[in-house]
């Protein structure tokens, strides 16, 4: 909490979102992934039915028992704080983020998740992949914690969720998990949103309006910090309607190992929009905001995985694509 040097300088350059509006909070349905780590068929079917309802109604769920325990999550927040507290000169020695790898450090002011916004976002991030991570310049414990989170979330939880989703959608059990074998496009992302002072121009966008790109995202928010907002699921992918209809996402406060899981755009394509990718963003109110940490595991289908609507969902609304073609297009938009 001592790293607020320079925040006045930072905020002046970033966009005001729309004027503040009263919003009804979105309380996420809470589901339990435990039956997919060895439960019986009935328990799995019960969760799958609830998952289908939640994904059709919201596109966001709160998920218990994804495999991250309190000790691992605490270690992850410590590692993340230590990384983002490095002096700028040390951050400059981290592997720089590059589109070709989607790995490494991305400094404040580089991204805009909504390509139609003129201004960029004050967040910084460090992306980890399944191989090739360069931890030499990161704090001592960072690499071990990041690799363990990768194993738990990307290797294990994602595959369990893939089976739950297939069951929920009446698809063959391995329909999604067979596209999560290489895990070459998945990304574990440590996010830091620097503190913001009061703003005379209203709300400040900390992460622009977007839908996630891939299969699904597992998100942890340190201390359940405010800021994440979502639209209604009917909106689908963000088009020209950034204003209006935003709701604060409420994560159950009693249990900070709950993951927020949301549907990505490729899963929407596979299901021909039975499940949609819900637009979301991160904002800070005009009164300013403390710094905020989050960790996102973006679960993306393998580079060579073909993505086309399953025939059981009717005539496809989308042209077929592949994991790689779609992710490249989305990353190019966010970094252009």
Ligand X SMILES: O=C(O)CCC(=O)C(=O)O
Give the one entry of ligand X, Fe ion, none that residue 47 binds, where binding means its C-beta sits below a cut-off of 5 to 8 angstroms depending on kind. none
Contact status: 296 vs ligand X (CB under 6 A): yes
For the CB of residue 274, give the shortest distance to Fe ion in the complex, in Å: 21
Please answer whether residues 25 and 248 qualify as being in contact, where contact means their C-beta atoms are separated by less than 8 angstroms: yes
Q: In angstroms, rounded to a whole number, what is the distance separating the alpha carbons of residues 38 and 27?
A: 28
Q: In angstroms, rounded to a whole number, what is the distance separating the alpha carbons of residues 18 and 201?
A: 9
Contact status: 26 vs ligand X (CB under 6 A): no
Closer to Fe ion by CB, 196 or 297: give it.
297
Q: In angstroms, rounded to a whole number, what is the distance separating the alpha carbons of residues 183 and 185?
A: 6
For the CB of residue 212, give the shortest distance to Fe ion in the complex, in Å: 4
- Reading phi first (left if > 0) and then psi (alpha if -120 to 50, else beta), residue 273 is in left
Closer to Fe ion by CB, 138 or 238: give it.
238
Position among 55, 83, 185, 282 found at the interface with ligand X (CB under 6 A): 282
Judged by the rule CB under 5 A, the positions of this chain that interact with Fe ion are: 212
Contact status: 207 vs ligand X (CB under 6 A): yes
Residue matched to tokens 């919003």: 23
For the CB of residue 314, give the shortest distance to ligand X in the complex, in Å: 29
Quick note: the x/- pattern for ligand X over 215-234, rule CB under 6 A, is ----x-x------x------
264: tokens are 């990505």
For the sheet containing 216-221, what is the strand order? 30-32, 60-64, 259-263, 216-221, 292-299, 187-193, 124-128, 104-106
Q: In angstroms, rounded to a whole number, what is the distance separating the alpha carbons of residues 237 and 268?
A: 10
Contact status: 191 vs ligand X (CB under 6 A): yes
Using CB positions, name the residue nearest to Fe ion.
Answer: 212
For the CB of residue 238, give the shortest distance to ligand X in the complex, in Å: 12
Chain contacts with ligand X (rule: CB under 6 A)? 191, 207, 212, 219, 221, 228, 280, 282, 294, 296
């Amino acid at each position: 909490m001592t790293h607020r040097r320079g925040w006045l300088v930072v905020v002046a350059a970033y966009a005001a979102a729309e004027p503040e509006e009263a919003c009804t909070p979105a309380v996420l349905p809470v589901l339990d992934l435990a039956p997919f780590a060895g439960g019986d068929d009935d328990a799995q079917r019960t969760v799958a039915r609830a998952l289908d309802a939640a994904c059709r109604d919201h596109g966001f769920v709160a998920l218990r028992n994804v495999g991250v325990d309190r000790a691992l999550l605490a270690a992850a927040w410590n590692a993340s704080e230590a990384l983002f507290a490095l002096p700028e000169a040390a951050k400059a020695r981290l592997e720089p983020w590059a589109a070709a790898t989607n790995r490494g450090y991305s400094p404040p002011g580089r991204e805009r998740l909504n390509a139609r916004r003129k201004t960029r976002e004050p967040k910084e991030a460090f992306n980890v992949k399944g191989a090739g991570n360069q931890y030499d310049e990161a704090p001592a414990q960072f690499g071990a914690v990041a690799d363990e989170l990768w194993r738990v979330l990307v290797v294990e939880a994602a595959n369990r969720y893939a089976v739950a989703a297939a069951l929920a959608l009446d698809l063959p059990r391995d329909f999604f998990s067979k596209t999560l074998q290489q895990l070459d496009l998945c990304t574990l992302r440590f996010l830091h949103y620097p503190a913001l002072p009061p703003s005379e121009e209203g709300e400040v966008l900390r992460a622009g309006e977007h839908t996630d790109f891939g299969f699904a995202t597992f998100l942890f928010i340190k201390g359940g910090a405010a800021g994440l907002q979502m639209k209604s699921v009917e909106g689908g992918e963000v088009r020209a309607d950034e204003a209006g209809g935003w709701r604060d996402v409420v994560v159950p406060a009693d249990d900070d190992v709950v993951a927020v899981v949301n549907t990505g755009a490729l899963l929407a394509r596979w299901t021909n929009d039975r499940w949609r990718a819900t637009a979301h963003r991160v904002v800070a109110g005009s009164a300013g905001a403390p710094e905020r940490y989050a960790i996102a595991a973006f679960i993306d289908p393998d580079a060579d995985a073909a993505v086309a609507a399953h025939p059981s969902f009717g005539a496809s609304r989308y042209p077929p694509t592949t994991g790689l073609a779609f992710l490249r297009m989305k990353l190019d938009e966010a970094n252009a």
